[in-house]
Structure 1
Amino acid sequence: MPLTPEQTEPVLDREAIAAIDPTDQLTDVLALPEHVRDALWKADSANLGEWDSPGGLIVAGMGSSALGGALAGAALGDHASRPVFSARAYGLPAYTTPDTTVLCCSYSGDTEETLACFEAAGALGARRVVATSGGRLAAEAREEGVPVIPVAGGLRGFAAIGYMLVAALEVAAACGAGPHLTSELDVAAEHLEELVVEWGPEGTEDSDVKVLARALQGTVPVIVGAGITTPVAHRWKGQINRLARVPSFASELPEADHHEIAGWERAEDLGRFSAVFLDDSDLHPRVLARIALTREIVERHSAGTHVLTSRGQTAVERVLSLVLAGDLVALYLAVLQGIDPAAPSCVEQLKGDLQG
């Protein structure tokens, strides 16, 4: 199904969005360019210095905080000189050594899994850096002399993705895992400003992002990434889950073509599923062929298939373009369903139950 509007109502302008979004989450989504610039300044203010970590970098965190590390790895791509891993658990991977740098990311500073990783890294003697807006993590880091990259307060954790991506890139450069991408991030922020105009509420109603949000309404979206768009697919999935309160799943090509694709044969018997393929200009030619062929197969059994291609020249530009697109699709989808994107969810209930 091509990205052509099936309907033009309801209009996704500021007035319509404000009626559903009383805490103005839209502004935080549209502020991604400013977040990237502010994150660079904040990382510089941390005076990290430089050191050599032969074991590479592990980014420990949960949700969007961990995803910053995965996006950083995608943005670095072939320019990474050491491995960049993510740890999303109560402990660090078994291969963590004192020669590894561990970046502990938690927006609130109170994420229990990240606090456990911070302690584990200290016990191993690994070099530690923290990215947070405060909480226990900031307090413990400062008490132990661990550098803290500050993150702006007043946001919801998932809106701080720009800060977490920049923190991971800056620590990767500091520990020798990759080059500095400061100039690339500056250019990416300028490019994002152009996309905010095109895709934001002032953009036309037939923009790709608004049309896609309408097309996904009433479906269970499966977001399919490949190469550098794989972590972005997980970002889309998480934002659709959290903002729009819709089941959504992330997948990856070419792996999805070896088992998962067979499951689509019965998808229409179980519900209305849709697929979004996140394309990129630097994907392997065989992956591009797989996107086209996989889409043909899925189309027969789904409520619709869609392709959205990254925008920009550098990898960091292209990654951030799709992050912005996914955040807007999720927010627009929430508005179309009449759901306040910042309303309390079962996530908060679960955290409360665990503490009780």
Structure 2
Amino acid sequence: MDDKMLIDESDMKSILEKFPDMIKESLNLAGDLAVDRDKKSVCVTGMGGSAFSGDLLKAYLEEIEIPIFVNKTYTLPKHIDRNSLVFAVSYSGNTEETISSYRNAIKKGIKPIAISSGGKLRKLSEINENPFIKIPEGYPPRLSTPFLFFPMLSVLENSGIIKSRDNAINMTIDSIRSADYKERAKIIAQRMKDKIPIIYSSMKNFCVAEKWKTDINENAKAMAFYNMFPEFNHNEICAYTNIVGDYFVLIIKDEKDHERVKKRIKIIKELIKKRGIHVMEIAIRGEHYLSRLLSPLYLGLWVSYFLALEYETDPTPVKIIEDLKKELS
């Protein structure tokens, strides 16, 4: 065994290896739960890895007619009302912001669907006789994306709001199983070590860049940033004039990106490289958008894992977050 693997005392590696199986398991968690199909909007309220499932849903279902909003604070937006489908997502079920927004939803006359492994959210659901989707316990929230995301997709399918995605899901599982992510991730992590990662993607794939960033933060316990084409071309690009850090720029490039975005990526890559900054591209390909989202997301998880090992850091504990919670209680 590689000595670095001994750093992973909580065995995150085993969870990462189960990711395709977690997707399959998650498909049955919502059962036949459905809502009225005439909802005017969808709102996912949550924080951290739980809220990310909402960002992923918003990106994946960009083409549906009703808007999807992701709420990451204590109260719901004023426009969210009884005509909205609200998912309250908290892996632990005890996230204070999500509990608060859940109660806010009840005051608005909404019957939110809670998704968690238990906790206060389950108790609130039982007291108020609202739908509750129980997900497996024992996982870090940031590794639980399948359990948090696919039940929402199932409810939307059951309700007739979206069409079945079974084919896309099955092909995504096969795609993730067939590729070797680990070796590629090790190489990226080694090149990224001792640098400040900056992740760029198109707006279409913002959630992938976001997840790379937050997984590096939580697993490697290192700083990282992300932004999107074309927006950062109108502001952040100027920061490459006075370079005050050792950056590692990673660009996530999708074959389905807008043609002008593709041109911008090509130009920006050269402009940044001329300033002595290492730039790497990750190419996204595939027939189904779901696969083009989850495959690079999964690669990013492995990169953050191996980067943690490079820093001789156990990727699972998030002590500083727990310290903050203690101070807040």
Task: Name 1:312's counterpart in structure 2.
Answer: 286
Which residue is equivalent to 2:275? Answer: 301
- Quick one: which of 221, 227, 232 aligns to 1:251? 227
Question: Which residue of 73, 77, 84 maps to 2:58?
Answer: 73
Q: Partners of 1:29 and 1:350 in 2: how far apart?
A: 27
Change (3 A) 1:273 1:338: same
Does structure 1 residue 216 correspond to structure 2 residue 192? yes
Letter in 1 for 2:272: V
Out of 20, 29, 32, the position equivalent to 1:42 is 29
- SS state at 1:41 partner: coil
1:99 and 2:83 are equivalent in the alignment: yes
**Partner residue in 2 for 1:21:** 8
Deviation at 1:161? 1.1
Decide whether the 8 Å contact of 1:273 with 1:302 is kept in 2: no
Instruction: Quote the residue 1:32 is aligned against.
Output: 19
Q: Which residue of 1 aligns with 2:126?
A: 142
C-alpha distance in 2, partners of 1:302/1:340?
32
The correspondence of residues 171-190 of structure 1 with structure 2, limited to 5 A, is: 171-175=155-159, 177-190=161-174
What is the CA–CA distance in structure 1 between the aligned matches of 2:285 and 2:270, rounded to whole Å?
24
Distance 1:221-1:343 versus aligned 2 partners, 3 A rule: same
Percent identity over paired residues: 26
Q: What displacement does 1:53 show?
A: 4.1
Aligned length: 329
- Per-residue CA distance 1:246-292 (angstroms, 9 max, x = gap): 1001101100000110011112xx12011111111211000011111
Aligned mates of 2:100, 2:166 — CA distance in 1: 31
1:228-243 to 2 correspondences below 5 Å: 228-243=204-219
User: Matched residues in 1 for 2:143 and 2:205: separation?
Assistant: 19
Going from structure 1 to structure 2, the CA distance change for 1:219 and 1:177 (only over 3 Å counts) comes to: farther
What is the alpha-carbon distance in structure 2 between the residues aligned to residue 172 and residue 66 of structure 1? Answer: 17
Match of 2:45 among 49, 54, 60: 60
- In 2, distance between residues paired with 1:213 and 1:219? 10
2:267 pairs with 1:289 = no
Contact 2:218/2:318 (8 A) holds in 1: no
State the partner residue of 1:194: 178
Structure 1, unaligned runs of 5 or more: 1-13
Comparing 166-175 and 91-100, the one that deviates more: 166-175
CA RMSD of aligned residues (A): 1.6
Which of 64, 78, 103 is matched with 1:119 structurally? 103
2:238 is the alignment partner of 1:262: yes
Distance in 1, matches of 2:17 and 2:277, equals 29
Give 3-state SS (helix, strand or coil) of 2:29's partner. Answer: helix
Which residue among 307, 324, 327 is the counterpart of 1:350? 324
Q: Which runs of 4+ in 1 moved over 4 A?
A: 174-177
| Counterpart Cα distance in 2 of 1:143 and 1:183 | 38
> What SS does the corresponding residue of 2:36 show, helix, strand or coil?
coil
Shift of 1:165: 1.7
* Counterpart secondary structure, 1:164: helix
Matched-pair contact (CA < 8 Å) for 1:101–1:175: no
Question: How far apart are 1:168 and its partner, in Å?
Answer: 2.7
Question: Cα distance, 1:17 vs. partner?
Answer: 4.6
Q: Work out the CA distance in 1 between the residues paired with 2:230 and 2:306.
A: 29
Which AA in structure 1 matches 2:246?
Answer: R
Distance 1:72 1:16, change over 3 A: farther
CA distance in 1, matches of 2:36, 2:42: 12
Structure 1 length-normalised TM: 0.88
Per-residue deviation at 1:174?
4.2
> Does structure 2 retain, via aligned residues, the 8 Å contact 1:82–1:178?
no
Q: Give CA deviations for 1:28-86 in whole Å, capped at 9, x if unaligned.
A: 12211111111111122xx31241243211000001111111111222232x2211110
Matches within 5 A, 1:157-168: 157-168=141-152
* Structure 1 residue aligned with 2:135: 151
Letter in 1 for 2:50: S
What do residues 93-146 of structure 1 show as CA deviations (whole Å, max 9, x unaligned)?
121121001000000000000001111111111231111000000111122121
Is the Cα–Cα contact under 8 Å of residues 203 and 230 in structure 2 kept in the other structure?
A: no
TM-score normalised over the length of structure 2 = 0.95
Q: 1:17 to 1:314 in 2, by over 3 A?
A: farther
Offset of residue 176 of structure 1:
5.0
Equivalent residues of 1:57, 1:172 under 8 A apart: no
Instruction: Work out the CA distance in 2 between the residues paired with 1:344 and 1:81.
Output: 39
In structure 2, distance between residues paired with 1:175 and 1:83: 16
Secondary structure at the aligned position of 2:114 is classed as strand
Partner Cα distance (2:160, 2:236) in 1: 37
- Displacement, 1:303? 3.6
